[in-house]
Structure 1
Amino acid sequence: MNVITNIPYLKKEKQNSILFLFFLFLSATFLGQHQQVETKKEVIDSLITASKAEVKKGNYSSAMLLVKKGLSEAQTINIDKSIADCFNQIATIYFYQGSYYDALANFENSNSFYKKANFKNGMASSTNNKGAIHYYLGNYSKALDHYKIALKLHEELNNEAKAAGTTQNIGNIYLILKEYTKAKQYYVKAENIYLKTANNKSLSLVLSSLGDIELKTKNYTKALHYLEKSLQLAKDNDVKQTEAEVLFNLGKLFEAQQNLKKSSLHYQQSLTIAKKVKSSRHQSSALIALGQIQHKKGFLQQAIQLCEKGLNIAKTISSISQQKEACECLYLAYKKANNPIKALLFNEQHYVLKDSLNLKTTSDKLLSMEFEREQLLDSIATAEKERVLKLKHREEVKRKETQRNIFIIAVCFAILIAVAIFSRLNYVKKSKAILQLEKDRSEHLLHNILPVEVADELKEKGYVDAQDFEKASILFTDFKSFTETASKLSPKALVQEINACFKAFDAIMEKYGIEKIKTIGDAYMAAGGLPKPDATAVKKTILAGLEMQEFMVKRNIENKSLKKPAFEMRVGIHVGPIVAGIVGVKKFQYDVWGDTVNIASRMESNSEVGKVNISENTYQMVMYDPNFTFEHRGKISVKGKGGMEMYFVARKASVPLTYTNRKKELV
């Protein structure tokens, strides 16, 4: 009996032991996975550190390889902050090479992943860096917007040192706008923080800016004091970028004092350091300045050569302000060299660039005028309402005074009026129903022609303002040998076939939220990322292009089975800045303009049947997307553009062609 009663107890003890071992195994597995993730994070951090060291040496290719390896590792463990850190370093490398648009795209990616990780320090830094890119591109209004957001984040985090950097950047904006008193206030505020935190690297840069202010206000002694102190700090801390900038400012100082020999020497030293660290921005500035010195000395040929070199570098980094200075230098040199044709050419370019720099200011002034106009109209409307109310009040008093005398007549008329009102209301109700039906039809037609937001703006204002989009994806398609294939069809059959294809394309565009722009003959054009910007527009546009090609393959199989002629299609995609708006006042249409459209058209014409051809810029934005595979085609000669890098894009065989697959999607 004792043995039998002990058996259940033994079984229970054995079960508890098994459960204990099972939980021990799970704990060990979890700890092992956690340790593996931590190890990978350490590897990623070391790769970023190594990349930063290569940047300091000016070895940008090596730096990029290291950080891209880190990005690949970060994506395997799907840690948002590590991915953001990698994108931030990639953007920094592009910035130092003068590739500002590439830098801006990667800072946006970095900011997006910092937001996912809720890492406010990273959000503040990447926002500040986006402001710096807009500053170097000459878009000072957008730069200031980003700086203010970054400053607020730094202050919330009590990050005094980084807040000082953003404060200094705001000072740079006021310096450009020639508001020297405000600029100096921000610089001095930043200087005090740098002195307090012993941040000599940043102190060197802000002292250079203070020297630049004193130079511009012709306080040459103070300017020399600030710049010499700045140069010494830059040398002591081995900050080559700042050293190049300070040497350039010293060159400007001596040039203002008519000491051309010293000025030329400092510009040359700035150029030497800029070449060493591969800073395109500083190289361009130094070359243009040296060209201006040669012009003053009367060596016109040397001036032209130097300014042309500076202009070419400025064009590669899209620096409008430096292009303007170079064109002005070339205009004066060619004019003095008695070459009026080239002088006129560069003078025209100088004014075009000058106008483009002032475009944003003009836009702000117009918006301000429009706001004042709206306020005035509101004031007039309010006054008119008050006048009408007073008039009604007087009429009401008068009516009540005479009502006693005409009471009996009023009762009789009231019956007649009631009948009339009833009839009128019935008529108005029917009329409103008819009008509403017609209005609904009109709105449906308008929304079929224009995007909803654009149509609403057109109805509200009677016109539509043109909009700038920094990153729109333009898609072009075209049928190969259209004329030859079309000749085998009757006119009716041809229209039916094209209509079948374009109806399918319209459905695909609607599926991915892409805006159809227009059809031109057998060509089809669409744009992603407008009229509302969409961070995933590039990926959606590529998926749409692939699905269009898949439809054409199925359509060809069907047509051939029916022994009907079949079309084959090319697709091309490019991403970049465009302007969008409505053209004309009769038979108007929503359209887009810009060099991005031309390049997208070139991508299509250089594509192949059944393929989707994308540009280098587009590839850079989706290169890490796990849904796609790419075939590098190398540089292909493009009319009016020279050699351009192109890629064929396809979906992975294991990934269905649908936008619902979002694993590890890059925003």
Structure 2
Amino acid sequence: MHCATVEPADEPVSATCRAPSTPQMNGVVDRSISGRRDPPRFSVAETSMPSPAPTNEAERLAALRALDIVDSAPEVAYDEIAELAAQLCSCPVSYISFIDDERRWLKARYGLPAEVTDAPRENAVCTTTICGTELLVVPDLKRDPRFENSPMVSLKPSCRFYCGMPLITDEGYALGTLCVMDFEPRQLSFEQTEALRMLSHQVLAQLELRRKLIEDRQTIKQLEQARLEAAAERARAEELLHNVLPAPIADELTRRGRVQPKYTRSATILFADIQGFTLLAERTEPARLIHLLDEYFSALDEIGARHGLEKVKTMGDAYMAVAGVVSPDRRHSIDVCLAALEMRAQLDYLRAECEAIGEHALQLRIGIHTGPVISGVVGNRRITFDIWGDAVNTAWFMEAFGVAGRINVSETVAGHVHGLFDLESRGSIEAKHARAHQMFFLNGLKREYSRNEDGNLPNDHFLSEYHRIGGSRLAHER
């Protein structure tokens, strides 16, 4: 039998000790005639005893905390092991304990009242048990100098017999004990000590299951965190992609990995150029210049989005947008003209702010044309959405031969919007190496369709006509 049987000794075994005051236990026991006896009801009085500690105490405590078992809820598996230990050893009391830095805590108990859950570490015989690697058998606690002052011995009737097996993990940490106790001095048979040893293996198996469960939960938590981070990163990437590309184009690229080029029979293209920018760039600090450009283009982006335009690109101080390609709508010419009026008004407001602080005045020159285009996505690293076709060249021609502060539109645009907008014919204008184009200034909404004298805010009459022409998108947004 592999166990440490302790007989009375003249000198106590040396150990690192601390000796706070602790209560003494009193109780009454009703002994049954056969086998195990009913346990006493304990109360505590003052007594103390030495408190040894394993040499790997810091690591042992860390391993115990990692299991998160101290103060955990009762579990049937541990309760059944404790009861079986008492039955096999014919002892009235048994328990499974874990020992932290201050106390011995009972995970399971048999023959003890439910309110007995822990005790100061220095009062527990189990504190000595975890310093060894084998069964600690004490036939008579009262006759052992190490334990004669233990509160357990001070019981009336006193606990006299103790047998405990340290619960040692594969890493060599004695986390607690599986113990049986009796109120009379006695010995266990070889079969009983072996049974207690084997039951301790079952406790360790439960601890290993608990450790694996904790690891699995941590793994699941880490995987969930990784999933959330990946989802957040994907959302950020999609948001960035939607900022670079129109939403339907971005969705198609995400879904298929590529975007099919698209031919659109009728789309309206807008070019806007900031007049006076070159002079401003010569007189303005770079940081202030970038700030102004960001302010201007951000305002144009917001206005364009409200009217269903998709920004195609910016080129220095030039801005290009299109309507009718990504979201086909027969009113795209009207939408672009409304956006152009609002863009001009917005730049007039920003120009007034610049003039108020002594900065160079800027004006917006806008050109608009309607015609067929091909749209698509180019590049595989820095992806861009773009449009191509003669209509794009004509729209640029409208802007290039426009006038600062005015909106210049082609004859095609004028034909689509003349019923709603005030147009001023410029006649046919030629350019070198280019055919002549009929051009019109877009001054604003006709008076009967405008809410203000500037002619850039549509009224209810306009919205009614807009709805009649092709739907209610603008009416809902306004």
* Correspondence list, 1:281-300, <5 A: none
The answer to whether the aligner puts 1:478 opposite 2:273 as a matched pair is yes
Work out which of the residue numbers 413, 434, 441 in structure 2 matches 1:648.
Answer: 441
The answer to whether the aligner puts 1:611 opposite 2:406 as a matched pair is yes
Quote the Cα distance in structure 2 between the aligned partners of 1:417 and 1:436: 28
Instruction: Provide Cα deviations, 1:490-546, integer angstroms capped at 9, x if missing partner.
Output: 222222222211111111111112101110000000001121211221101011111
Does the CA contact (< 8 Å) of 1:489 and 1:565 recur in 2?
no
Quote the Cα distance in structure 2 between the aligned partners of 1:635 and 1:575: 17
* Correspondence list, 1:327-476, <5 A: 418-476=213-271
Does the CA contact (< 8 Å) of 2:276 and 2:361 recur in 1?
no
Aligned to 2:299: 504
Shift of 1:554: 1.7
Taking a change above 3 Å as real, the CA distance of residues 653 and 494 of structure 1, as seen in their structure-2 partners, is farther
Shift of 1:630: 0.6
* Correspondence list, 1:145-544, <5 A: 418-544=213-339
Matched letter for residue 284 of structure 2: L
Work out which of the residue numbers 464, 473, 477 in structure 2 matches 1:663.
Answer: 464
**Which segments of 5 or more consecutive residues in structure 2 lack a partner in the other structure?**
1-201, 471-478
* Correspondence list, 1:63-142, <5 A: none
Quote the Cα distance in structure 1 between the aligned partners of 2:458 and 2:311: 18
Does the CA contact (< 8 Å) of 1:538 and 1:575 recur in 2?
yes
Quote the Cα distance in structure 1 between the aligned partners of 2:380 and 2:221: 38
Shift of 1:420: 4.2
Aligned to 1:630: 423
Matched letter for residue 428 of structure 2: K
Work out which of the residue numbers 576, 580, 595 in structure 1 matches 2:390.
Answer: 595
Aligned to 1:346: none
Matched letter for residue 362 of structure 2: F
Larger Rg: 2
The answer to whether the aligner puts 1:550 opposite 2:345 as a matched pair is yes
Higher helix fraction (1 or 2): 1
Quote the Cα distance in structure 1 between the aligned partners of 2:372 and 2:433: 18
Shift of 1:582: 0.8
SS in structure 1 at match of 2:303 = helix
Shift of 1:603: 0.3
Shift of 1:664: 2.5
> Looking at both structures, which has the greater relative contact order when contacts are Cα pairs under 8 Å and sequence separation is at least 6?
2
Higher strand fraction (1 or 2): 2
Range with greater deviation from structure 2 (520-529 or 428-437): 428-437
Shift of 1:417: 5.6
**Which segments of 5 or more consecutive residues in structure 1 lack a partner in the other structure?**
1-407
Taking a change above 3 Å as real, the CA distance of residues 566 and 420 of structure 1, as seen in their structure-2 partners, is same
Quote the Cα distance in structure 1 between the aligned partners of 2:282 and 2:345: 25
Instruction: Provide Cα deviations, 1:307-361, integer angstroms capped at 9, x if missing partner.
Output: xxxxxxxxxxxxxxxxxxxxxxxxxxxxxxxxxxxxxxxxxxxxxxxxxxxxxxx
Taking a change above 3 Å as real, the CA distance of residues 604 and 564 of structure 1, as seen in their structure-2 partners, is same
Taking a change above 3 Å as real, the CA distance of residues 421 and 548 of structure 1, as seen in their structure-2 partners, is same
SS in structure 2 at match of 1:469 = strand
Aligned to 2:108: none
Shift of 1:486: 2.3
Taking a change above 3 Å as real, the CA distance of residues 587 and 508 of structure 1, as seen in their structure-2 partners, is same
SS in structure 2 at match of 1:607 = coil
SS in structure 2 at match of 1:541 = helix
Does the CA contact (< 8 Å) of 2:244 and 2:384 recur in 1?
yes
Work out which of the residue numbers 381, 386, 390 in structure 2 matches 1:586.
Answer: 381
Q: Percent identity?
A: 32
Shift of 1:588: 1.2
Aligned to 2:42: none
Quote the Cα distance in structure 2 between the aligned partners of 1:491 and 1:577: 39
Instruction: Provide Cα deviations, 1:231-275, integer angstroms capped at 9, x if missing partner.
Output: xxxxxxxxxxxxxxxxxxxxxxxxxxxxxxxxxxxxxxxxxxxxx
Shift of 1:607: 0.8
Instruction: Provide Cα deviations, 1:257-294, integer angstroms capped at 9, x if missing partner.
Output: xxxxxxxxxxxxxxxxxxxxxxxxxxxxxxxxxxxxxx
Shift of 1:617: 1.0
SS in structure 2 at match of 1:553 = helix
Taking a change above 3 Å as real, the CA distance of residues 430 and 615 of structure 1, as seen in their structure-2 partners, is same
Taking a change above 3 Å as real, the CA distance of residues 563 and 420 of structure 1, as seen in their structure-2 partners, is closer
Quote the Cα distance in structure 1 between the aligned partners of 2:415 and 2:278: 36
Shift of 1:437: 1.8
Matched letter for residue 486 of structure 1: A
Does the CA contact (< 8 Å) of 2:275 and 2:363 recur in 1?
yes
Quote the Cα distance in structure 2 between the aligned partners of 1:564 and 1:429: 54
